[in-house]
């Protein structure tokens, strides 16, 4: 039977890939606008279309949106993180939640290393200086990358990829993972040890209730003086005011942020600083990664609508437990 799939939003020019796969399986795709609507507006779309599947990129899928459809079978995240989906509500009503956990491993880890290399070698800062007419190589205070200790918070596929790349540059690598235990690249340690010994701290942790403001007014001052903070995971993992205070005091030498709490309108007091490099939540993006993400997300939805379990489930619906 034909099912309705609601795609709430998208971060690419069109939905042709998703539509092609879903309509080839004799289902109907309806889409919200590319820019995410509010949670209330998403609830209105759900009430209007009564979908059997919801695909979401950035839009918030609230408890009310999950409880509205008559026969919701899957909420598919067009991405990795699940912080915009009320997963317990989906579980309680018997719907799968799935993601694509490994589509952008290379891209995000590359982005983290790019931010690290920029801090060590000053590429963005010197480019800005030269374009403003200031040719002053004597001002260089650069770092040998192989002398750095790099601390990575989170050791999923992306964290492991970043660890391998940092290790290839000759860096000493420290790992803090939520589950604890041994790691196959670098050395596992607790968070205070990692913060106190790392020249560069890279965040690859998911955003959950327990990790919100993981880097805050208590933990940021515990970082090594002069260290550099990189966040390519989720903005709210870092408390903005605590980071600003550490930069203003000189305790941190800078930050490289692909994600910022408050995006897409993060505080100017943070992003306007010359010691902060900001990119607009694009670490996941490449032509190859987006094609893979869109294709695999649509295929997962079609799979569940055909009565099969998803390949990358993030919950166990109560009715199937």
- Given this chain, do its domains 4-102+286-320 and 105-278 carry the same CATH topology? yes
Tell me how far CA of residue 108 lies from CA of 41, 144, 172, 254, 258, in angstroms.
Answer: 31, 23, 20, 20, 10
Tell me how far CA of residue 272 lies from CA of 143, 246, 275, in angstroms.
Answer: 24, 15, 9
- Contact predicate 243/255, CB 8 Å: yes
The predicted-structure confidence for 3-35, as pLDDT tens digits, reads as follows: 999 999 999 999 999 999 999 999 999 999 999
Per the structure block, which two tokens stand in for 253? 């030498």
Q: What is the C-alpha separation between 297 and 45, in angstroms, rounded?
A: 20
The single residue of 263, 292, 295, 303 carrying the catalytic annotation is 263
Q: Does residue 173 register a pLDDT over 70? A: yes
Q: Which of 118, 206, 214, 201 is nearest to 162 (CA)?
A: 201
The predicted-structure confidence for 64-78, as pLDDT tens digits, reads as follows: 999 999 999 999 999
Q: Say if domain 105-278 classifies as CATH 3.20.10.10.
A: no
The predicted-structure confidence for 241-296, as pLDDT tens digits, reads as follows: 999 999 999 999 999 999 999 999 999 999 999 999 999 999 999 999 999 999 99
* Integer-rounded Cα radius of gyration of the chain: 21
Q: What is the C-alpha separation between 47 and 57, in angstroms, rounded?
A: 19
**Percent above pLDDT 70 for the chain:** 99
What class is the 4-102+286-320 domain?
Answer: alpha beta
Q: What is the C-alpha separation between 8 and 100, in angstroms, rounded?
A: 17
Active site residue 49: no
Q: Which of 12, 98, 5 is nearest to 53 (CA)?
A: 5
- Contact predicate 76/301, CB 8 Å: yes
Say how many Å lie between the first and final Cα of the chain, rounded: 25
Active site residue 27: no
Active site residue 263: yes
Q: Does residue 202 register a pLDDT over 90? A: yes
The single residue of 160, 177, 234, 294 carrying the catalytic annotation is 234
Q: Encode 236-283 in three state secondary structure.
A: HHECHHHHHHHHHHCCEEEEEECCCCCCCCCCHHHHCCCCEEECCCCC
Tell me how far CA of residue 301 lies from CA of 23, 34, 64, 75, in angstroms.
Answer: 12, 19, 21, 8
Q: Does residue 179 register a pLDDT over 90? A: no
Q: Is 142 helix (H, G, I), strand (E, B) or coil?
A: coil
> Where along the chain do its domains lie?
4-102+286-320, 105-278
The single residue of 281, 294, 296, 312 carrying the catalytic annotation is 281
Q: How confident is the model at residue 321 (pLDDT cuts 50, 70, 90)?
A: very low
- Contact predicate 291/302, CB 8 Å: no
pLDDT value for 126: 94
């Amino acid at each position: 039977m034909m099912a309705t799939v609601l795609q709430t939003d998208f971060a690419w020019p069109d939905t042709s890939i998703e539509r092609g796969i879903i309509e080839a399986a004799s289902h109907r795709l309806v889409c919200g606008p590319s820019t995410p609507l509010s949670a209330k507006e998403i609830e209105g779309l759900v009430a209007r279309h009564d979908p059997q599947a919801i695909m979401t990129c950035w839009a918030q899928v609230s408890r009310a949106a999950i409880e509205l459809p008559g026969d919701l079978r899957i909420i598919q995240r067009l991405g990795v993180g699940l912080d915009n989906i009320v997963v317990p509500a989906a579980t309680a009503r018997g719907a799968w939640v799935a993601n694509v956990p490994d589509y952008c491993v290379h891209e995000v880890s590359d982005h983290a290393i790019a931010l690290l290399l920029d801090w060590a070698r000053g590429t963005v800062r010197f480019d800005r200086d030269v374009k403003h007419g200031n040719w002053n190589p004597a001002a260089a205070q650069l770092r040998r990358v192989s002398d750095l200790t790099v601390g990575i918070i989170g050791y999923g596929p992306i964290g492991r990829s970043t660890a391998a790349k940092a290790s290839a540059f000759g860096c000493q690598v420290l790992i803090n993972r939520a589950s604890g235990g041994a790691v196959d690249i670098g050395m596992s340690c607790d968070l205070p040890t990692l913060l106190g010994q790392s020249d560069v701290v890279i965040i690859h942790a998911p955003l959950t209730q327990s990790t919100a403001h993981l880097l805050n007014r208590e933990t940021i001052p515990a970082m090594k003086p002069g260290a550099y903070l990189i966040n390519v995971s989720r903005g709210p993992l870092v408390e903005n005011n605590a980071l600003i205070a550490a930069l203003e005091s000189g305790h941190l030498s800078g930050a490289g942020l692909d994600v910022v709490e408050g995006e897409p309108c993060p505080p100017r007091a943070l992003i306007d600083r010359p010691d902060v490099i900001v990119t607009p939540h694009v670490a996941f993006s490449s032509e190859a990664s987006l094609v893979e993400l869109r294709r695999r997300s649509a295929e997962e939805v079609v799979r569940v609508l055909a009565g099969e379990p998803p390949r990358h489930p993030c919950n166990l619906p109560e009715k199937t437990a």
